[in-house]
Structure 1
Amino acid sequence: MKQDVFITCAVTGAGDGPKKNPNVPVTPEQIAADVVAVAEAGAAIAHIHVRDTVTTEGSRDTALYAEVMERVRDAGTDIIINFTAGMGGDLEVGTEDPKQFGAATDLVSQAERVVHIDALRPDVCTLDCGTYNMADGNVIYVSTPDQIREGARMIRGFGVKPELEVFDLGHLGLVLRLIDEGAFEGPAMVQFCLGVGSGAPATPGALKAMSDALGGRDVVWSAFGVGRMQLPMVAQAALLGGNVRVGLEDNIWLSKGVPATNVDLVNRARTIVESMGGRVQSVQATRDELGLGGRQ
């Protein structure tokens, strides 16, 4: 077990959570307030999407990201800011003509996916490391090997640390090749995303297989499960030597029928880690472990 475990809180995501749980933040003010609150509860990293303030749908608007960052920093918190760079990968294959894409398609170039990263230079941004079926139906998330290599090159050029989002063992295989090729400044930061679409399931066996596959490389890893498997995966990740992620992006319930808040979920994660004999790692210790240096 990892003795000092950092907690990431994914505060809002891009899904339909606000329609099911009013605690899911939507506006930049609400998102920033939750980031500050989870920092006070013990989260070292905030993983941040932004949303259209009218429709509540996920957005790639740089101005919204800028407002969130400004509000968080104005509040004086040193939490590590991790912006998503995964928006713009959705493709809905046509039912009758596969080349006639459906209304759910939001597919842009890798360069367009990181416009806000270049503009704002957060501490960390995500790099989704593979294509997968998002759910039943015709929608897939597109991230090809060439796109991943291009994203790694651009993000490194920005001076931002990529969090390598891995949804299955096949994705991890490419990540390991890129690590061995020297694509990332060490240590590599890997996030195992379990129970998402047709990716790896949120089970102890799947997580152990993925963590074992790292093979002693210079990697700092974390993991999360979606829905009801969020908190069980906290315990499993800590036991296997990793770090943990919780938050309303991945799970909107504290228990059956009880809407969660981001602070609730961070508190639960903290309780799990500490009850197993671990300690929740501070922001500065997490910066040191990831090689981030001082605040951006």
Structure 2
Amino acid sequence: MDKVMISVAPVASTDKSIIPEKIAEDVLHCYQAGAAMVHLHVRDAQGNLTTDMSLLEETLRLIRKDSDMIIEVSTGGVSNLTIKERCVPVYSELVEACSLNVGSTNLGKAVYCNPIDDVEYCVRELLKMKKTPEVEVFEIGHTFTMQELMSQYNFINPVLFSIVLGHKGEAPATPQALAAMIQMIPAGALWGITHANRRDFSIIAAAVGMGASTVRIGFEDSNYLDAKTVVDTNAPLVEKTVRLLRAMDKEPMSPAEARQLFNIASK
């Protein structure tokens, strides 16, 4: 594959000031730099996960006004929300794709709980509302669980996995862990890389070289441009990712190309 979709997750979980105009401006600069997808959470003005979609939908309208980016919203994150509450973005007409978390996860000292009944509820709602799932897998067990779900539910092909490395308590961001995770991806599925707590681009480069279809970059995972440099907007991270792809004889996908590859209905 000579093209890779860049997804930008622009808001850090520690951000305590959610301003739609500021987020949308940052995201649109990322779009101009080569990002085809935006990944966001449903947050209130103080950055807390919530069921109130008002700030998110305002942000999404601003993004949609000036771009054709694929809009993905998370159904996850550490909170006290029930699975029904976490699925609120599934019903928004502005949302095209949603993250799907298929198992519980250690995130530092926190535990992100995803019991199988909750997972299956989320799967059913995503399929009912025709939202494209991006399956976030933090360990091999998650990948195996999704393989079992694929035998039980009628997912549209190809199923997209995001291999998430680098969280304390889960799979480390090492070449060995990456290789092991790739080996578990079911035949016919596609996969991408998310490197949490990233300080350099070495694992992203390794993933691209091993066939990643997507790269997620952005403040949700890290604001490091390199080991010594942090940035205050997301666009430089996208620009560096584009340079990396081109150095490896690849190009960033346009939103239209990504929609076609992942079977996402055009907006």
Please tell me the TM-score bracket, short chain as reference: over 0.9
1:242-261 alignment runs, 5 A limit:
242=212, 243-260=214-231, 261=233
Query: Which of 173, 177, 192 pairs up with 1:222?
Result: 192
Q: 2:41·2:49 contact (CA, 8 Å) conserved in 1?
A: yes
| C-alpha separation in 1, matches of 2:49 and 2:85 | 15
CA RMSD of aligned residues (A): 1.8
**Structure 2 unaligned residues grouped into runs of 5+:** none
Q: For 1:11, what is the secondary structure of its paired residue?
A: coil
Q: Aligned letter for 1:290?
A: F
In the alignment, structure 1 residue 281 sits paired with structure 2 residue 253? yes
Query: Which of 252, 261, 266 pairs up with 2:238?
Result: 266
| C-alpha separation in 1, matches of 2:155 and 2:94 | 17
| C-alpha separation in 2, matches of 1:215 and 1:58 | 32
Q: For 1:127, what is the secondary structure of its paired residue?
A: strand
Report the TM-score when normalising by structure 1: 0.84
Q: For 1:8, what is the secondary structure of its paired residue?
A: strand
Q: For 1:47, what is the secondary structure of its paired residue?
A: strand
Q: 2:42·2:73 contact (CA, 8 Å) conserved in 1?
A: no
Query: Which of 96, 109, 114 pairs up with 1:143?
Result: 114
In the alignment, structure 1 residue 5 sits paired with structure 2 residue 1? no
Counting matched residue pairs gives 265
Superposed displacement of residue 180, structure 1? 2.7
| C-alpha separation in 2, matches of 1:200 and 1:183 | 28
1:95-244 alignment runs, 5 A limit:
106-136=79-109, 139-216=110-187, 218-229=188-199, 231-242=201-212, 243-244=214-215
Cα separation, partners in 2 of 1:112 and 1:41, compared to 1, 3 Å: same
Q: 1:166·1:191 contact (CA, 8 Å) conserved in 2?
A: yes
Superposed displacement of residue 50, structure 1? 4.5
Partner in structure 2 of residue 38 of structure 1: 30
Q: For 1:227, what is the secondary structure of its paired residue?
A: coil
| C-alpha separation in 2, matches of 1:293 and 1:118 | 15
Q: For 1:228, what is the secondary structure of its paired residue?
A: coil
Q: Aligned letter for 1:71?
A: L
Q: Aligned letter for 1:117?
A: V
| C-alpha separation in 2, matches of 1:84 and 1:170 | 21
Cα separation, partners in 2 of 1:58 and 1:254, compared to 1, 3 Å: farther
> Which protein is bigger by CA-based radius of gyration?
1
| Percent identical | 29
Partner in structure 2 of residue 69 of structure 1: 60
